[in-house]
């Protein structure tokens, strides 16, 4: 009774909002969306995936072409990129690519955070939440429709650099392989191998490269394809992963070569301690990374590996979490120290960046493999080059905290059972969309405190 009464009360409020266009970055469509599908002036409702349309700045092409437009042509042939990298040489700097650079703050995430802080009534928590807008995170290019925004971001970083005399660095995640997320469901991508996905992926990489070429004064650091190669180390028993193996390798090699040609410093994703850090997985992992690197022609801008992306492990745990079940590599520093020698002997550059964005609170999971919106997590160590290890270039925030890992809606086609576990936060929206309650917990539990 109470439920339907409050629903009626809510419905009676709806007409007041019907004509309000959605603000920049707000959702404006997708399966299950019943809100406004128009955007404020200057923003265009852009399809990111079937479940999420978002108001993005500028005049992005409409996803439904006008009736008078020509029929779509096939994917254009992939150009061979022969561009020079930002320094005009094929030689990366020696040492840590972050050194001497100011990390550019993404306005996309800052706006999400500011909007979220606006919904917090407690003044102390609101002030803490607002501080997150000033902490650099990576920007995920998880659909090709977002590629033009990279140009917008690089232009802004370039302008800020020229105005301040500082050198700017933009942090991106390359994340659009066909048959993506082959061992889970929550982050299934837009391209499928069966539907020409590899060619579409080449086009996605080409679009990123075209933007990067235009701003040679801005340094770009990229994390390459979270989870993909780690899935090839341990999940070839999953049909979708074994089916994707060749496309993942070919696609990754293409990405490494093309991004190398424009001087992007790259860290390949390497899972985390609880995945590739088991002793049986270390050597196969090192072999895969080394072989792929060689197959790509040993691109000099490949700097190393990224670990713990979007995960919750500590860099240095005060004691092993019981869920680590006797793995001697129970945190990221032990994993990195164990993996590095095998990489080095395979000829792979053993440098690392480590995501600590949501690692502030430890011993909150029921199993180490639990990855979805883990309850009780808090923002972790702030990004820094003072990492305490010569193997680690930087502690970074790669997963933008507050963006959802996956929906808890059991009826959704992208529902993954991990997102319905008792240690996963309930009422979670689709992956990548804003999860306000979760963000508020990350703020409250931040360690160090915000």
Ligand X SMILES: *[C@@H]1O[C@H](CO)[C@@H](O)[C@H](O)[C@H]1NC(C)=O
- Residues at the interface with ligand X (CB under 6 A): 31-32, 409, 411-412
d(CA 346, CA 337): 15
Of 36, 156, 176, 227, which one is the catalytic site residue? Answer: 227
Tokens 């490949």 belong to: 302
d(CA 316, CA 319): 9
Taking the complex as a whole, the smallest distance from the CB of residue 112 to ligand X amounts, in Å, to 20
Taking the complex as a whole, the smallest distance from the CB of residue 188 to ligand X amounts, in Å, to 14
Q: Which is nearer to ligand X, 124 or 411 (CB)?
A: 411
Q: Which is nearer to ligand X, 344 or 409 (CB)?
A: 409
d(CA 87, CA 94): 13
Tell me, what DSSP letter sits at residue 360? S
Q: List the beta bridge partners of residue 169.
A: 103, 219
d(CA 232, CA 165): 44
Of 179, 206, 405, 416, which one is the catalytic site residue? Answer: 405
Q: Which is nearer to ligand X, 414 or 444 (CB)?
A: 414
Taking the complex as a whole, the smallest distance from the CB of residue 54 to ligand X amounts, in Å, to 17
403 assigned binding-site residue = yes
The answer for residues whose C-beta is within 8 angstroms of residue 184's C-beta and 6 or more apart is 227, 406, 416, 418
Six-digit token string for 151? 């140009």
Q: Indicate the pairing of strand 302-307 with strand 352-355.
A: parallel
d(CA 154, CA 140): 14
Q: Can you give the C-alpha Rg of the chain in angstroms?
A: 22
Q: Which is nearer to ligand X, 34 or 64 (CB)?
A: 34
Q: Which is nearer to ligand X, 31 or 119 (CB)?
A: 31
d(CA 352, CA 373): 25
In Å, the largest CA–CA distance within the chain is 70
d(CA 87, CA 292): 26
Beta strand extents in 157-311 (DSSP E only): 168-174, 219-224, 265-269, 302-307
First-to-last C-alpha distance (Å) of the chain? 42
Active site (annotated) includes residue 181? yes
399 assigned binding-site residue = yes
257 assigned binding-site residue = no
Q: Which is nearer to ligand X, 223 or 428 (CB)?
A: 428
Q: Indicate the pairing of strand 43-49 with strand 52-57.
A: antiparallel
Active site (annotated) includes residue 405? yes
Tell me the three state secondary structure of residue 22. strand
d(CA 405, CA 418): 10
Of 181, 206, 321, 331, which one is the catalytic site residue? Answer: 181
Q: Are 148 and 206 in contact (CB under 8 A)?
A: no
- Ranked by CB distance to ligand X, the top (closest) residue is 409
Tokens 């390459």 belong to: 224
Q: What are the angstrom distances between the C-alpha of 149 and each of 28, 57, 76, 140, 403?
A: 18, 8, 21, 11, 18
Active site (annotated) includes residue 269? no
142 assigned binding-site residue = yes
Q: Which is nearer to ligand X, 32 or 216 (CB)?
A: 32
The binding site for substrate comprises: 140, 142, 272, 275, 311, 371, 399, 403
Active site residue ranges: 181, 227, 405
């Amino acid at each position: 009774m109470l439920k339907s009464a409050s629903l009626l009360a809510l419905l009676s409020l709806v007409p007041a909002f019907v004509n309000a266009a959605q603000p920049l970055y707000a959702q404006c469509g997708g399966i299950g969306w019943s809100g406004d599908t128009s955007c404020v002036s200057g923003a265009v409702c852009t399809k990111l995936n079937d479940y999420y349309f978002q108001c993005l700045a500028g005049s992005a092409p409409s996803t439904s072409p006008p009736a008078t437009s020509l029929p779509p042509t096939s994917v254009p042939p992939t150009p061979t990129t022969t561009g020079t990298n930002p320094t005009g040489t094929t030689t990366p700097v020696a040492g840590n690519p972050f050194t001497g650079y100011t990390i550019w703050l993404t306005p996309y995430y800052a706006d999400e955070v500011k909007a979220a802080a606006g919904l917090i009534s407690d003044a102390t928590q609101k002030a803490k939440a607002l501080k997150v807008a000033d902490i650099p995170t990576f920007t995920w290019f998880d659909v090709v429709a977002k590629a033009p925004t990279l140009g917008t971001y690089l232009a802004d970083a370039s302008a800020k650099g020229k105005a301040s005399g500082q050198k700017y660095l933009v942090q991106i995640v390359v994340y659009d392989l066909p048959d993506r997320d082959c061992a889970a469901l929550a982050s299934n991508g837009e391209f499928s191998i069966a539907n020409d996905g590899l060619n579409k992926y080449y086009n996605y990489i080409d679009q990123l490269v075209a933007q990067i070429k235009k701003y040679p004064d801005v340094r770009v650091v990229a994390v390459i394809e979270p989870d993909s190669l780690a899935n090839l180390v341990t999940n070839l028993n999953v049909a979708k992963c074994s089916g994707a193996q060749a496309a993942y390798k070919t696609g990754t090699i293409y990405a490494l070569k093309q991004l190398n040609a424009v001087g992007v410093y790259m860290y390949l994703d390497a899972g985390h301690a609880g995945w590739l850090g088991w002793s049986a997985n270390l050597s196969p992992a090192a072999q895969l990374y080394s072989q792929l690197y060689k197959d790509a022609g040993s691109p000099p801008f490949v700097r190393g590996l990224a670990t713990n992306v979007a995960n919750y492990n500590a860099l240095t745990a005060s004691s092993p979490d019981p869920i680590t079940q006797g793995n001697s590599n129970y945190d990221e520093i032990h994993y990195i120290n164990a993996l590095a020698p095998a990489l080095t002997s395979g000829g792979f550059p053993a440098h690392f960046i480590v995501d600590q964005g949501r690692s502030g609170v430890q011993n909150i999971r029921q199993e180490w493999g639990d990855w979805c919106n883990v309850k009780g997590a808090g923002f972790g160590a702030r990004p820094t080059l003072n990492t305490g290890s010569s193997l680690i270039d930087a502690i970074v925030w790669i997963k933008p905290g507050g963006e959802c890992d996956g929906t808890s809606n059991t009826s959704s086609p992208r529902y993954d059972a991990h997102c319905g576990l008792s240690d996963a936060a309930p009422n979670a929206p689709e992956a990548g969309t804003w999860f306000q309650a979760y963000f508020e917990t990350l703020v409250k539990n931040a360690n160090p405190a915000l």
